[in-house]
């Protein structure tokens, strides 16, 4: 039940302004594009006009220059770390009708299931035994009779479940919009990031694709991060479901949303996700999305986001195949899921397999295979959860991130959490690839940061666990 009603319609998104900016940007020449790229390299972010200029790039030489700028920013701010997580689907019942989703109310082809707390614990144990430390709890918008308390209990179950020396140290959630009071309870349950995708910021397209249930209300969804932040959740994640409407419109609308958050709360989103619509059982739209985003445009989107909001993490899920995922790492992605299932019970008893999943996955590799691949490509697989556990969230995180101070924490923590994974969970081939990477990184890390990293890694090599700075 909604207790806080937003003013409606909200003025967060100004469609006329977006269309005017898009029209002006079509007239950009190479000189203007290079001017924007030079600004982007200063790592102070870009405004909507500048983002629009970059979106118009077609020329191969200019495109390469933009990718080079994105690689530069990614490298300066994030180095070669990639944070790993897994989604945990606790239920696929839903009262909404989203045209693209297999969980939608009217889909009779889907096998429905809500996990009990015991089943959730069993799934979590499997994920811990694979080596995961971060989970993203996901659900359709219908809970068993205890309502929202079911979600709170699930979070408690996840944190309580232990296996061997492992545990889940950060639970992020992607669940339907809540009231301020419910968000306060979610914060009390110890969540990391609250994540929700607007799907499309285009009001008319939104109405066409969301035809039943609470999700019909565009404004209730658009104001969700305001309520989360009012409730004290300062790490929030946003996103657009790419394929519903023109991606260029969505990018500028997202800029307006970010601008609104920064103005009102002094901090923008902690992460941005870039889901592309994938085939889903019982959805003809998902077979052929009306504004399907090509692989080329997808790379552009990642690179432009990296330049526009340099300090906001970019999340790449297993919707994408291994090749596409690899190509986006250097352009700006900082977090990836691995070994994922999108059906409740999918890790353990296989939860009715494809008949219960939300959408088809593009990357079916195990966490171990992804870690080996990532390490072989020269990236450090990180399982770090230090920031949120030390209260380095929201504006406090940005205060460290913007002057580049966060690297002093992230680089050593990435290596120590990676070493923990290698010692406790990796297969021999992955362990070897990972150890080579850690040794190389330690040798190259300068001064005090290098010393801190060596100390943390050697403590893990002896027997300590969960060490971080």
Residues of the shown chain interacting with ligand SF4 in the complex, contacts defined by CB under 6 A: 94, 96, 98, 101, 103-104, 140-141, 215
414 contacts 384 by C-beta, under 8 angstroms: yes
Site residues (CB under 6 A) for ligand SAM, limited to 87-106 = 100-101
Q: Residue 10 or 376: which CB sits closer to ligand SAM?
A: 10
- Interface segment toward ligand SAM; rule CB under 6 A; list 133-141, 145-153, 226-234, 373-381: 133-141
- Interface segment toward ligand SAM; rule CB under 6 A; list 25-33, 194-202, 230-238, 421-429: 194-202
Residue whose C-alpha is closest to residue 182's, from 143, 219, 212: 143
% helix / strand / coil in the chain, to the nearest 5? 50, 10, 40
3 burial type by CB count under 10 A (0-12 exposed, 13-18 middle, 19+ buried): exposed
116 contacts 151 by C-beta, under 8 angstroms: no
Q: Residue 140 or 310: which CB sits closer to ligand SAM?
A: 140
Contact call for residue 229 and ligand SAM (CB under 6 A): no
Q: Residue 176 or 333: which CB sits closer to ligand SAM?
A: 176
Which of ligand SAM, ligand SF4, none has residue 104 at its interface (CB below 5 to 8 Å by kind)?
A: ligand SF4
Site residues (CB under 6 A) for ligand SAM, limited to 355-374 = 358-359
Dihedral of alpha carbons 192, 197, 203, 209, sign: negative
Contact call for residue 150 and ligand SAM (CB under 6 A): no
Q: Which of 50, 123, 142, 199 is close enough to bind ligand SAM by CB under 6 A?
A: 199
Residue whose C-alpha is closest to residue 238's, from 358, 399, 230, 228: 228
Q: Which of 132, 169, 319, 409 is close enough to bind ligand SAM by CB under 6 A?
A: 319
Contact call for residue 141 and ligand SAM (CB under 6 A): yes
Q: Alpha helix (H) ranges present in 41-179? A: 48-55, 60-78, 117-130, 149-160
Q: How far is CA 78 from CA 134, 270, 275, 311, in A?
A: 19, 14, 21, 9
Q: Which of 54, 69, 176, 225 is close enough to bind ligand SAM by CB under 6 A?
A: 176
Q: Residue 112 or 389: which CB sits closer to ligand SF4?
A: 112
Which of ligand SAM, ligand SF4, none has residue 67 at its interface (CB below 5 to 8 Å by kind)?
A: none
| Minimum distance from residue 273 beta carbon to ligand SAM (Å) | 8
281 contacts 109 by C-beta, under 8 angstroms: yes
End-to-end CA distance of the chain: 41
Q: Binding residues for ligand SAM, per CB under 6 A?
A: 100-101, 138, 140-141, 174-176, 196-197, 199, 241, 275, 277-278, 280, 286, 319, 358-359
């Amino acid at each position: 039940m909604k207790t806080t009603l937003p003013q409606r319609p909200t003025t967060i998104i100004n469609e006329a302004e977006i269309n005017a900016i898009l029209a002006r940007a079509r007239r950009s020449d190479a000189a203007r594009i290079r001017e924007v790229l030079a600004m982007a390299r200063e790592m102070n972010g870009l405004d909507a006009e500048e983002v629009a200029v970059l979106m118009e790039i077609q020329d191969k030489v200019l495109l390469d220059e933009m990718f080079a700028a994105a690689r530069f920013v990614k490298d300066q701010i994030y180095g070669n770390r990639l944070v790993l997580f897994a989604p945990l689907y606790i239920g696929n019942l839903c009262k909404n009708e989203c045209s693209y989703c297999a969980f939608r109310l009217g889909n009779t082809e889907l096998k429905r299931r809500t996990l009990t707390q015991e089943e959730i614990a069993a799934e979590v144990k499997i994920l811990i035994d694979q080596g995961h430390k971060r989970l993203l709890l996901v659900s359709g918008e219908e809970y068993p009779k205890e309502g929202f308390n079911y979600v709170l209990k699930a979070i408690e179950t996840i944190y309580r479940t232990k296996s061997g020396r492992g545990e889940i140290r950060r639970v992020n959630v992607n669940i339907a919009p809540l009231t301020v009071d419910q968000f306060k309870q979610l914060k009390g349950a110890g969540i990391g990031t609250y994540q929700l995708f607007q799907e499309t910021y285009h009001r008319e397209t939104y109405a066409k694709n969301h035809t039943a249930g609470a999700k019909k209300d565009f404004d209730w969804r658009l104001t969700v991060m305001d309520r989360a932040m009012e409730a004290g959740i300062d790490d929030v994640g946003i996103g657009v479901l790419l394929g519903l409407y023109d991606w260029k419109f969505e990018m500028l609308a997202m800029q307006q949303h970010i601008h609104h958050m920064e103005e009102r709360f002094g901090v923008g989103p902690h992460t941005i996700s870039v889901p592309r619509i994938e085939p889903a059982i019982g959805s003809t739209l998902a077979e052929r999305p009306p504004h399907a985003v090509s692989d080329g445009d997808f790379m552009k989107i990642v690179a432009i986001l990296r330049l526009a909001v340099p300090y906001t993490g970019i999340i790449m899920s297993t919707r994408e195949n291994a090749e596409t995922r690899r190509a986006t790492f250097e352009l700006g992605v900082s977090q990836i899921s691995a070994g994922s299932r999108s059906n409740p019970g999918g890790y353990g008893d296989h939860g009715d397999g494809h008949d219960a999943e939300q959408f088809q996955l593009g990357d079916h590799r195990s966490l171990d295979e992804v870690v080996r691949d990532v390490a072989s490509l020269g990236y450090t697989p990180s399982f770090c959860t230090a920031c949120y556990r030390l209260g380095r969230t929201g504006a406090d995180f940005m205060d460290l991130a913007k002057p580049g101070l966060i690297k002093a924490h992230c680089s050593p923590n990435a290596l120590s959490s990676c070493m923990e994974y290698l010692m406790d969970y990796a297969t021999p081939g992955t362990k070897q690839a990972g150890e080579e990477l850690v040794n190389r990184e330690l040798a190259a890390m300068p001064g005090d940061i290098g010393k801190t990293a060596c100390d943390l890694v050697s403590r893990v090599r002896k027997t300590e666990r969960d060490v971080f700075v």
